[in-house]
Amino acid sequence: MTASLVVVGNGMVGHRLVSSVRERDRAGRWRVEVFGEERRPAYDRVALTSYVDTWDDSALLLAGHDPDVTVHLGDPVVAIDRAARTVTSASGLVREYDALVLATGSSPFVPPVPGHDLPGCHVYRTLDDLDGIREYAARVPHGRRAALVVGGGLLGLEAAKALRDLGLSPHVVELAPWLMPLQVDEGGGALLRRLITALDVTVHAGTGTTAIERDRGRLLARLGNGTELDVDLVVFAAGIRPRDALARAAGLDLGERGGVLVDEACRTADPHVWAVGECACVGGRVHGLVAPGYAMAEVVADRLLGGAATFTVADTATKLKLLGVDVASFGDAHARAEGALEVVLNDAVAGSYKKLVLSDDASTLLGGVLVGDASAYAALAPMVGRPLPGDPAALLAPAGETLGAGALPPDAQVCSCQAVTRAAVDGAIAEGCADVPALKACTRAGTGCGSCVPMLRQLLASAGVAQSSALCEHFTHSRVALFEIVRSTGIRTFSELVARYGRGRGCDLCKPAVASMLASLGGHVLDREQVALQDTNDQFLANIQRNGTYSVVPRIPGGEITPHKLMVIAEVARDFDLYTKITGGQRIDLFGATVEDLPAIWRRLVDAGFESGHAYGKALRTVKSCVGSTWCRYGVQDSVRLAIELELRYRGLRSPHKLKAGVSGCARECAEARSKDFGVIATEHGWNLYVAGNGGFSPRHARLLASDVDTETLVRLIDRFLIFYVRTADRLQRTAAWVEAMDGGLDHLRAVIVDDTLGICADLEEAMTAHVGSYADEWRGVLEDPEKLARFTSFVNAPGTPDPTVAFREERGQRVPVSLGVPQVSAR
């Protein structure tokens, strides 16, 4: 006889429970019915912040259940009658049950701060919450748009990223002395703060929010340390509370701090009622991560079908990318075990903090913290509680020992979210799983947070399975292959490319990569649907600044400028009251332009003969030069002339990453050519060409590719180098990393573009000739197109109206944003 299973809650854990029951229930013992509060089907809440990238919820939806499962969406259970063994839903449905599983999850904790319920105050928990935040943010004028996030934990930093992606400047307030206090220690928290602050997120740690008030159309947030912040929107992400009201009303026992009290089988005192996930209190603790919830779901599914599984120690290992910063913790991250030893490598220059926690005899790995560089997580996390696999200092050092897949014993958990062991993965590979998607489908490994995917690739490689070079899950092709497809087919839109050669709707990996390819092959970056693929800077052909204004950088090839053009820049800066700065790349940057000012500024500059300097794009930025033989007594070649020729030749060339170049007139190297993607140094007999250098986070010296070549040969070699790079580099790969990853490295590159061993140099040169011949200034392209021009306004319903919230102060004779360099604090 079929029994009735009712599941209250349709989140990730409830969904996992139902899926596990259906997979195991071969005999059809259970008839399953699910009641969900949200209108949407179950979705991946771990990836909630990615919703901001596309506003397409279909990308987050979990796989649907089989037709035998009845799901009631938007109809939560409001009452449980344990005596009659029935539940009643909000719509009045009454259903009997033989087993009832509570998977009601949690609700956001909103501190009792006066003003927490004012318009503009939100929580960050569901897709509906994000929709509400987006709708409210859309009504906030461009310019000085600020937001406050109450809570500096995992959820708070996710919320800060979402707000920044919406064009607001986030302030994060955390009561603890450092960010993410549950996951990382003080040292890791200090580096995390520095890295996140560098991304224009202001952090206020060691203080709380005491009040929120309405103030002149905005919100005034008062902090416990006396700081007052003028913001437009507040998001509470200060933690969660188990949703146990339904259980309380039904007379079920609760934990001391809330949560439905359950035993190691996840069963309540009522033998017909179970609880899993964030609403359950097991062993006196409520778990707020998905991995323990999934483990509980598996336990209950096993018990419902006659098994004896128990919930033991929860795996709280976590690996995340927050605002682009890698953060991971595993095991006893805070070294709470008696006698625990710590090995720490804190590299402030490289921006990484790594700590391993060892047993008192230094023989066993107990836990660890990784911030900035979490590449070792996949190998280290499964080794917790096991003998230390190597010298701890060497394991943390950048060039030290690395743990390969071979170091993992069969029973080590590769995927903590889904509790998948190495043995299970090896078994799946032996049965024919030949890539990561196949392993995900077979074992579920990698379908949670995704941090174990690198280890899955290692296990595939160790088993002799060739690895996929797919750009992302939407394209089986690599970036290189996709570039060739676009080039040979003439496809000029993302939608056509994904329809013919991919699947789905795309993601934040493939969309900008394809946008770069399309731009590399001609066309305006704001043409048709291309605009939706671009980031903010490319959408407005200017660099957005921290207060919502933009900077304008006209091209000044070689740094050479006539007095007339110099006066035009001065007049534009004066008339639009712009902050003016000479950059390190021999250009003049004009800061503080509002979005509606941009076309007027461009018109003045274009009429004077200027054009876009592409300071916002993945394209050629500058070709820096010294004064060369024209003025310098040491100069042996005319470096200024060559720098101008090269910059005008390669301007507008879209590439996988930005490009910088330099030309020095002698070996004294005043143009710093050897720190550039391509650099030229004059010799008595011609030019030396250096390639694949860069400054930035990981500086690289460029290396010599050719010596004493004449100008014609030099230009031909650079043509080949750049087109070969554009065609064959991975997305966002600088030239230095591209050459380093190349089989044969610089020797192979020299063979291809100097010796023409592949016979492609004529094609590379032809492609550069086509680029030079088709170049058109992007600023002028906007000015000549009314449709593109209409995008440049702060208010769609009132074009031309300036943003009244943009504020400046004076510093050293120029105006700068109120928030530039200091927290945005009111003078009261």
Q: Binding site for [4Fe-4S] cluster: residue ranges? A: 626, 632, 666, 670
How wide is the angle at C-alpha 249 spanned by C-alphas 247 and 255, nearest 5°? 45
**Cross-strand partners of 509:** none
Nearest to 340 by CA among 367, 313, 380: 367
Please, is 414 exposed, middle or buried when counting C-beta atoms within 10 Å of its C-beta (0-12, 13-18, 19+)?
A: buried
> Does residue 73 contact residue 53 with C-beta atoms inside 8 Å?
no
Per the structure block, which two tokens stand in for 551?
């900077």
| HEC assignment per residue over 756-824 | CCCCCHHHHHHHHHHHHHHCCCHHHHHHCCHHHHCCCCCCCCCCCCCCCCCCEEEECCEEEECCCCCCC
SS3 call for 696: coil
- Sign of torsion, CA 135 140 142 145? negative
Say if residues 354 and 393 touch (Cβ distance below 8 Å). no
In the numeric block, which tokens belong to residue 540? 């407005």
Residue with tokens 């095991």: 331
Residue numbers belonging to the annotated binding site: 626, 632, 666, 670
Helix extents (H) in 364-509 = 377-380, 392-396, 422-430, 436-443, 453-462, 479-489, 494-501
* CA torsion, ordered 404, 405, 411, 414, to nearest 10 deg: 100
Is 681 within 8 Å of 667 (Cβ atoms)? yes
How far apart are the two ends of the chain, measured CA to CA in Å? Answer: 73
CB contact set of 804 (below 8 Å; sequence gap of 6+) = 141, 143
- CB atoms near residue 778 (< 10 Å): 23
Nearest to 502 by CA among 478, 477, 475, 472: 475
Task: Check if the beta carbon of residue 795 is closer than 8 Å to that of residue 785.
Answer: no
CB 196 within 8 A of CB 179: yes
- Phi/psi at 439 (nearest 5 deg)? -65, -40
Helices (H), 611-710: 628-631, 639-650
In whole angstroms, give the CA distance from residue 790 to residue 531: 13
Q: Which amino acid is at 745?
A: G
What DSSP state is assigned to residue 383? Answer: G
For the four alpha carbons of 753, 758, 762 and 767, in that order, the dihedral sign comes to negative
Residue whose pair of structure tokens reads 């947070």 in the numeric block: 449
Are 817 and 824 spatial neighbours (Cβ–Cβ below 8 Å)?
A: no
Beta bridge partners of 285: 282
Contact between 548 and 143 (Cβ < 8 Å):
yes
Separation CA 494–CA 532 (nearest Å): 10
Q: Which amino acid is at 429?
A: I
Burial code (b: 16+ CB inside 10 Å, e: under 16) for 154-185 equals bbbbbbbbbbbbbbbbbbbbbbbebbbbebbb
Ordered DSSP codes for 718-751 = HHHHHHHHHHHSPTT--HHHHHHHSTTHHHHHHH
Contact indicator for 298, 306 with CB cutoff of 8 Å: no
